[in-house]
Amino acid sequence: MTRPTETSPEALRPGESRAPLVSRPDREALGAAAQLMQTERPIDLELLTSVISRAFAQTMHMIHVANSRKDKRAGDPKVGGHPASCASSIHILAALHLVVREPQDFVACKPHASPVDHALHHLLQLFRQEGQDGQAPQWVGFEAAARAMHGLRRFSTPEHPEVFQSYHAKSDFDSFHFLPSGSVGIPPVASAYLSLAYRYAKDHGWELPANPHFWSLIGDSEFREGSLLEVMPECAERQLGNVCWIIDYNRQNLDGTRTSNPTTLHGADCERIERTALANGWRVVQLRHGSFREELFKQEGGAALREVFERAFSDYEYQMLLLKRDAATIRSRAKSRSAQASALLSKLSDADVVRAFADLGGHDVARLVAAYEFAKQPSDQPCMIIAHTVKGWNLACAADPSNHSALPDKQEQQAILTAAGLSWEQPFALFDPASREGRFLAQRRDQFRAGIEAHDRLREQNRALVRAAIERDGGIPESLDIDLSLFPSAHTQWMWGQLAAKLVRIGTSDEGGPHTGPKELSATETRWRTAADFVLTLSPDVGTSTNISGAMDSRIYGPDDQKPLDAELQLKLRHPQLVSHSERWTRHVRFEIAEANAMSAAGSFGALRALTGLPFCPIMTVYDFFVKRALDQLYYNLYWGSEFIVLGTPSGITLSSEGAQHSWKSDIQMPNLVTWEPLFAIEMDWILSDAIRRQMLGLNAGRSGVLLRAVTRAIPQRQLLELLRKHAASKQPGAASAPLAPAGANWVDALDESTLAVREDAELLAELRRNCLAGAYYLVDWRGYAGYEPGDNVVHVFSMGSVATEALEASTLLLQRGIFANVIHVSSPELLLGILGEQSGYEHLCSTLGIDGDLHAVEGAGESEAGLLSLAGRRVPILATCDGEAGLLDNLGSIVGVKQKTLAVRKFSKCGRPDEIYAYHHLDAASIVEAAGELLARTALENLRVSPSALARFQGMPRQRPDWRELWPKNAPEAH
Ligand SMILES: Cc1ncc(C[n+]2csc(CCOP(=O)(O)OP(=O)(O)O)c2C)c(N)n1
């Protein structure tokens, strides 16, 4: 597809000016940089202090209101909020929002500091409400904004829609370019990959807002999360110089004061964090001291005092002294470390000693601004700022180990409001527009509003561009038309490889590059052009083993600072070329064994349609077993509404010879996730094509995450049509003048099905496609065959995935015993009976497939007497079989109201061939046959019991108690 612009010259290109590292040995360099930037960007500290004081008070008041609601009931869980964690971040966020951040920037903030963001945005008047019925979002006026400030953690209703969730959420009024939060450790990773996604989009010629910066605020305990450590090397390897992580280093976590071991860590934890970041290729700013301290350091003994503050105390000791707030103790502890420092401290008043002790860089706006400016200098290295802070800054609970959930009492809250010039009556007042603060905030408000509106316009423009391009292509086809004629036996993972290669070939057909041969696009391929352009693949080191070598070869996206050496060294590699570069024909993002990273990246690329109007469609190929490694990231992506596809392959115990330790399938049900398990190769094509089409056209509400499982067990592909053609419903209308018999079977009064004219294959496949995409279809359908008697000799076998082969075999064996076992393949458990199935009232299962719980009258077990028939009521039982946990298909029976038995994976697996493994797990044909017999016997045992009150009503007595049916007249059975 033709791009609106060439790659912007402003894009950060690999290899561009490398900023100097700022770490301990170079601390002076930061001092210089800070000075320089302070003079370059004049900041009015007095004004900012006044704004911050009000934001602080309003943050605290939001939490206070949330915890003082009148409608609280006895037994309700606590409301909570995190005043101390907010206080610790107040200056960090204020410096960002009030001074440095640009409208196009992104922020991922530690979840429990979200009230600070809201309070600052309130003062900046940056609340926006989604427009109704497709209208543009509206800026919110003061009244509604104040209601929102009263609405933290409140249930939203149509009458009171103005609420904030506990942690940053898309529904918040100030969610523009804020990443949702909740689980710590994940949003900063998503943010880093957003930086990559933006760069990818730009390098591929799309128009995006200029140079966003990706800020994350991270707690110091949060920084122990493996997800953050897992992504750090990548941020540097991928040269994400516009990523900045700010560590709120307050030395406390939820449980109390952090007590890292200074002996083995060789110092305080901030030193370890710094070394970790440096070792991983980050620039580091250690923001320890505030300006008051820095002034002291200029005096005689200042260097020694600096050394004492930086080196003398463990985190734990420092925290305890902070809590003690006692000048004499501080002096005496300092004295034992350094006579010079002690001499300087002895010249200070008690108040100044305590002040100096607590004067940390993370509460110093000027130094924070300087550090942010440093982070923003062009660089190919990400930047970490370790901002030393006090948890509970300015609160009575400051530095108290128990302060994580502590709430200021009413008296303290009153004092906080008063100090900020606010009253209990008008706690969320804005500054007078004529005041200096009012004018400053209005100017920044206008800058942000204009930036945000321009961003909206660009997004709409991109959307229109893509829509028009798809229309010009002729709309997205239903399949990618892979020619399977040369592959009589194929597996779904192989098919994924074919599809990936084709998508990439089509998408890059006009991009140049090594693989663009003379081959013209076919008519169908031309219709895929725009959509394919947005597809990219990702994989945590299992691309070649999941059959996508073709899609990866020479198409690895990344920095182009290493050149392939095979030609130069005259090596003939029988391996895809995997050295990265940033040309437009790149389509694959490689990962080390880092499933969580890849999942986060899939989520970030998949967020681009909502953010920029460009519907990038990331497809992550991963061993299904290891999807579990990234479950929290998957949940995050889904909650975020990101649009992405995860190809979990190979999956389940069908891995057989490799499956001993890898065989627990990622059986997941989460909102906004649709799961699939195709059986035949063509289904893979339909499902993938449909998922991409839905994403391109915005038709994936409630199912924007797609988990598609594949296997490496091949099956004959012709089997599909062969089976379909046997269905009575597949015969030409009017052809079946009598009930059918299987081919070659000599049944009385029945027609050999193979002698009847069959409808066109294309027609059968179109119908099959519809059913496959609705969640299930009949592979074997005995309806219309002679002797088919529901309630007597019929059982429905629902099979999912590769075990269909065994289900089919069992069906044949059962027919030999006179039992008609329909085999219904479940292509999507989610659509058939999961959250999406429930939403549709199980329409496909109950109506299209016609699975019901009807009671069929058949002859009973008892003797028939003169004038009396012995009848039994029996239903058609359900047998489910799947390579996965039973829960996936277990509630089919309860949905339709029949007995069900499920054959599933209930123990750890071991190595073997598929048939051996299926037998080991009782999923083989013999086990299915046995289970069918058991089920049929059990349905026959349905006893009829009659209560005395029912008998009385039969005899004409009135009902004793109200008829419950009258309570739900809509649901009452027609006859009762
Ligand atoms: C993955 C995850 N685990 C646990 C929590 C619960 N939790 C919320 S805040 C917090 C402590 C965070 O401490 P730190 O990162 O140091 O931030 P601080 O509040 O001290 O600024 C915990 C454990 C969570 N939100 N996410």
Give the angle 545-229-552 at the CA atoms, nearest 5°: 25
Question: For the chain, how big is the Rg over CA atoms in Å?
Answer: 33
> Residue 29's pLDDT band (boundaries 50, 70, 90)?
very low
Strands 535-540 and 588-591: parallel
Query: Given the CA of residue 112, which atom of ligand 1 is nearest to it?
Result: 9
Mutational test site, ligand 1, from 82, 93, 112, 227, max ligand atoms within 8 Å of CB: 112
How far separated are the first and last CA of the chain, in Å rounded?
62
> Residue 1's pLDDT band (boundaries 50, 70, 90)?
low
Of all protein residues, the one whose alpha carbon is nearest to atom 19 of ligand 1 is 85
| pLDDT for residue 15 | 34
In this structure, are residues 875 and 898 in contact, taking their beta carbons and an 8 Å threshold?
yes
In this structure, are residues 101 and 215 in contact, taking their beta carbons and an 8 Å threshold?
yes
| pLDDT for residue 142 | 97
Question: Which of 778, 792, 887, 779 shows the shortest CA–CA distance to 834?
Answer: 887
| pLDDT for residue 857 | 83
Q: Round the average pLDDT of the chain to a whole number and report it.
A: 92
d(C-alpha 123, C-alpha 399), whole Å: 28
Query: Given the CA of residue 389, which atom of ligand 1 is nearest to it?
Result: 21
In 3-state terms the chain splits into helix, strand, coil percentages (rounded to 5) of 45, 10, 45
CA neighbours within 13 Å on the CB side: how many for 835?
Answer: 11
CA neighbours within 13 Å on the CB side: how many for 507?
Answer: 24
Which regions of 179-221 does DSSP assign to beta strands (E)? 214-219
What residue type is assigned to position 782 of the chain?
W
Q: What percent of the chain has pLDDT over 90?
A: 84
d(C-alpha 910, C-alpha 460), whole Å: 53
Q: How much distance in Å is there from the Cα of 254 to the middle of ligand 1?
A: 6
Query: Given the CA of residue 218, which atom of ligand 1 is nearest to it?
Result: 15
| pLDDT for residue 10 | 34
What residue type is assigned to position 336 of the chain?
S
pLDDT, tens only, 114-166: 999 999 999 999 999 988 877 889 999 999 999 999 999 999 999 999 999 99
pLDDT, tens only, 307-346: 999 999 999 999 999 999 999 999 999 999 999 999 999 9
d(C-alpha 457, C-alpha 459), whole Å: 5
pLDDT, tens only, 623-641: 999 999 999 999 999 999 9
Tokens of 67: 């915890």
| Ligand 1 pocket residues where CB is under 6 Å | 85, 88, 110-112, 183-185, 219-222, 248, 250, 252-254, 391
Q: How much distance in Å is there from the Cα of 256 to the middle of ligand 1?
A: 11
d(C-alpha 881, C-alpha 859), whole Å: 30
| Alpha helix positions (H), 434-565 | 436-473, 492-507, 523-527, 529-533, 549-552
Range 555-565 average pLDDT: 93
Strands 128-129 and 588-591: unpaired
Angle of helix 83-95 versus helix 365-376 axis, rounded to 10: 60
| pLDDT for residue 561 | 87
Query: Given the CA of residue 222, which atom of ligand 1 is nearest to it?
Result: 15
pLDDT, tens only, 423-477: 999 999 999 999 999 999 999 999 999 999 999 999 999 999 999 999 999 999 9
Q: How much distance in Å is there from the Cα of 222 to the middle of ligand 1?
A: 6
Q: How much distance in Å is there from the Cα of 249 to the middle of ligand 1?
A: 13
Q: How much distance in Å is there from the Cα of 184 to the middle of ligand 1?
A: 6
| pLDDT for residue 40 | 61
CA neighbours within 13 Å on the CB side: how many for 874?
Answer: 23
Q: In sequence order, what are the residues at sequence separation of 6 or more whose Cβ sits closer than 8 angstroms to the Cβ of residue 143?
A: none
Please state, in angstroms and as integers, the Cα–Cα distance from residue 466 to each residue in 382, 587, 732, following that order. 32, 19, 42
Model confidence at 536: pLDDT above 50: yes
Return the SS3 of 753: helix
pLDDT, tens only, 576-597: 999 999 999 999 999 999 999 9
Top mean-pLDDT range of 506-515, 518-527, 589-598, 728-737: 589-598
Q: How much distance in Å is there from the Cα of 112 to the middle of ligand 1?
A: 8
pLDDT, tens only, 101-124: 999 999 999 999 999 999 999 999
Mutational test site, ligand 1, from 222, 393, 400, max ligand atoms within 8 Å of CB: 222
Q: In three state form, how does the secondary structure of 299-333 look?
A: CCCHHHHHHHHHHHCCHHHHHHHHHHCCHHHHHHH
d(C-alpha 776, C-alpha 800), whole Å: 9
Query: Given the CA of residue 252, which atom of ligand 1 is nearest to it?
Result: 20
| pLDDT for residue 4 | 52
Tokens of 346: 């002895």
Of all protein residues, the one whose alpha carbon is nearest to atom 15 of ligand 1 is 219
Q: How much distance in Å is there from the Cα of 275 to the middle of ligand 1?
A: 22
Q: How much distance in Å is there from the Cα of 253 to the middle of ligand 1?
A: 6
Query: Given the CA of residue 111, which atom of ligand 1 is nearest to it?
Result: 25
Tokens of 808: 């089919």
d(C-alpha 13, C-alpha 378), whole Å: 10
| pLDDT for residue 866 | 65
d(C-alpha 908, C-alpha 515), whole Å: 44
Query: Given the CA of residue 223, which atom of ligand 1 is nearest to it?
Result: 15
Backbone conformation region of residue 974, classed left if phi is above 0, alpha if psi is from -120 to 50, else beta: alpha
Question: Which of 821, 788, 849 shows the shortest CA–CA distance to 936?
Answer: 821
Pairwise pLDDT comparison (746 vs 688), residue with the higher score: 688
Model confidence at 667: pLDDT above 90: no
pLDDT, tens only, 743-762: 999 899 999 999 999 999 99
